[in-house]
Amino acid sequence: MSRSSPDVGEALDAAVRLPDQFDSLKSRLGKDLLMRWDDYPDVTLHKLEILARSAYLAGVYLIHNSHTAYRAEDLVRAVLECLAHSTYIASLPPLSYRRTPADRALCVELGMVKGLNDLLKKLPNDALMQDPAVRTVVAADEQAIKTLHNATGCKCTGRDDGNVAPTLKDAATAIGPPWRTLVGVYASSSTFIRLC
Ligand SMILES: [Zn+2]
């Protein structure tokens, strides 16, 4: 056991509590905990938060064990993808994107439902873990989101992981050093996943 172990342990314990501290700040926003399914961008940001939170906490728990610690690298990528999509929606200053946050959230929603529908199209019925009727439901969801998205005037086909690195680079240019590090972390994590 190295001399630094107690400090690392304390840091990991603090890292586990971080989402709770974030929750305590949420009440200041004065937002209702219940939201409509089409309450964009809040509902999209909430989905991204759930995805990011689970990946973040899973990564912290993996670091606790020396046998699993390296696999935390995989989850960094998932957290940064959620961060990039949230940054795109929020259009953090001085980044400037035309259209409203609600409009931009629909680009993310379209990418998410399109990714799921594309996956279902590829899988044969005996590889599905759900009732095959799920195909009809998800296809209808994609069409509904596509209609809402196209009504915003955007011509994109939905945001996916191909948009993540450019968004992180935009933020790094606009905001500075901490984001420049994230560009490198995302590239490293992406490569690591492909190699292992
Ligand atoms: Zn779009």
- The tokens of 34 are what? 């219940």
pLDDT in tens, 137-148: 999 999 999 999
In a domain, 130, yes or no: no
- The answer to the question of residue 37 being in a domain is yes
Residue 67 lies in a domain: yes
Least confident of 29-33, 36-40, 144-148, 177-181: 29-33
Asked if residue 69 is part of any domain, the answer here is yes
Distance 113 CA to ligand 1 centre (A): 13
Around Cβ 1, how many Cβ atoms within 10 Å? 5
Token readout for 11 is: 């840091």
> Which range marks the domain in which residue 69 is found?
1-97
Residue 116 forms part of a structural domain: no
Least confident of 91-105, 149-163, 164-178: 91-105
Burial of 71 (0-12, 13-18, 19+ CB in 10 A): middle
User: What residues have a C-beta under 5 A from ligand 1, the ion?
Assistant: 107, 154, 156
Is 172 within a domain?
no
Question: Can you read off the two tokens belonging to residue 107?
Answer: 């680009």
Q: Is residue 193 part of a domain?
A: no
Q: Is residue 88 part of a domain?
A: yes
Total domains in the chain come to 1
Comparing CA positions, the residue from 163, 24, 185 lying closest to residue 86 is: 163
The residue with tokens 């509902």 is 43
* 2 CA from centroid of ligand 1 (Å): 50
Total-model pTM: 0.87
Burial of 62 (0-12, 13-18, 19+ CB in 10 A): middle
Which CB contacts under 8 angstroms, 24+ apart, belong to 131-138? 138/113
